[in-house]
């Protein structure tokens, strides 16, 4: 009897969620901003490049190419840095917290010319630390790095689809050189 009630409650909950329009978050071509290209070659073998490839594979509007000659645009990962700094220590000099910094620098090229300035993305995470649970903290650190890599890949796609990048790509395609904004020309999107 309890299985029947449990099963019917699960079905009822699923129907209620479907009725209210609940949907898992993901990359939906209709809601995502269009990227300024239809084919892309990612010029890198870094871990962030693999994450970007897997996210772009979900978008049917973008074709990933195996060589730069076949692609309309080339995304080069210029740098990928992982920094692990001690954030706090206790009175005895033992580490209490670490700060992890993940920095990715990328540049988009279309028809051999760079589009706008290089994109620099940073993610930060903090983790408490204890010598008593070294194995657990090592696994937590690995999860934090994976989470930061996924976040940076998503941010990179957002930056590539920004209005500024789309305008710069359109100017490059038309043969007009867009003025490069310096750091004092305002905030970047």
> Does residue 69 belong to any structural domain of this protein?
yes
Q: CB-hemisphere CA count at 13 Å for 8?
A: 5
Report the alpha-carbon distance of residue 138 to residue 55 in Å, rounded. 27
Per-residue pLDDT of the chain (189 residues; tens, 9 = 90+): 777 888 887 877 777 777 776 665 554 444 457 888 999 999 998 999 999 999 999 888 899 999 999 999 999 999 999 999 999 988 988 888 999 999 999 999 998 899 989 999 999 999 988 877 777 888 999 999 999 999 999 999 999 998 888 888 888 777 655 444 444 444 443
Sign of CA dihedral 142, 146, 147, 152: positive
Residue-range definition of the domain harbouring residue 114: 26-174
Nearest to 33 by CA among 169, 172, 175: 169
Q: Residue 141: in which H helix or E strand, if any? A: helix 134-160
Domain count, the chain: 1
- Tell me, what's the pLDDT at 56? 92
> Does residue 9 belong to any structural domain of this protein?
no
> Does residue 40 belong to any structural domain of this protein?
yes
Mention every residue, 6+ apart, whose C-beta is less than 8 A from residue 28: none
CATH code of the domain in which 121 resides? 3.30.160.150
CB count within 10 Å of CB 62 equals 20
> Does residue 186 belong to any structural domain of this protein?
no
Report the alpha-carbon distance of residue 186 to residue 117 in Å, rounded. 14
- Tell me, what's the pLDDT at 48? 95
- Tell me, what's the pLDDT at 25? 56
> Does residue 12 belong to any structural domain of this protein?
no
> Does residue 185 belong to any structural domain of this protein?
no
Q: Between β-strands 73-89 and 95-110, what pairing exists: parallel, antiparallel or unpaired?
A: antiparallel
> Does residue 93 belong to any structural domain of this protein?
yes
- Tell me, what's the pLDDT at 93? 87
> Does residue 77 belong to any structural domain of this protein?
yes
- Tell me, what's the pLDDT at 126? 94
Q: pTM of the entire structure?
A: 0.72
Nearest to 129 by CA among 83, 81, 90: 90
């Amino acid at each position: 009897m309890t299985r029947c009630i449990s099963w019917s409650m699960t079905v009822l909950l699923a129907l209620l969620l479907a009725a209210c329009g609940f949907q898992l978050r993901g990359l939906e071509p209709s809601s995502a901003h269009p990227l300024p290209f239809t084919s892309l070659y990612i010029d890198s073998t870094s871990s962030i490049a693999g994450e970007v490839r897997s996210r772009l594979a979900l978008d049917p509007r973008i074709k990933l190419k195996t060589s730069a000659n076949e692609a309309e645009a080339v995304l080069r990962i210029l740098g990928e840095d992982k920094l692990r700094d001690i954030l706090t220590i206790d009175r005895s000099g033992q580490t209490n917290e670490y700060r992890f910094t993940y920095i990715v620098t990328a540049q988009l090229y279309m028809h051999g010319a760079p589009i706008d300035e290089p994109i620099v993305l940073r993610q930060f995470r903090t983790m408490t630390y204890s010598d008593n649970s070294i194995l657990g903290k090592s696994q937590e650190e690995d999860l934090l790095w994976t989470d930061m890599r996924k976040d940076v890949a998503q941010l990179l796609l957002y930056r590539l689809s920004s209005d500024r990048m789309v305008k710069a790509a359109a100017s490059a395609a038309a043969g007009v050189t867009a003025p490069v904004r310096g750091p004092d020309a305002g905030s970047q999107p």
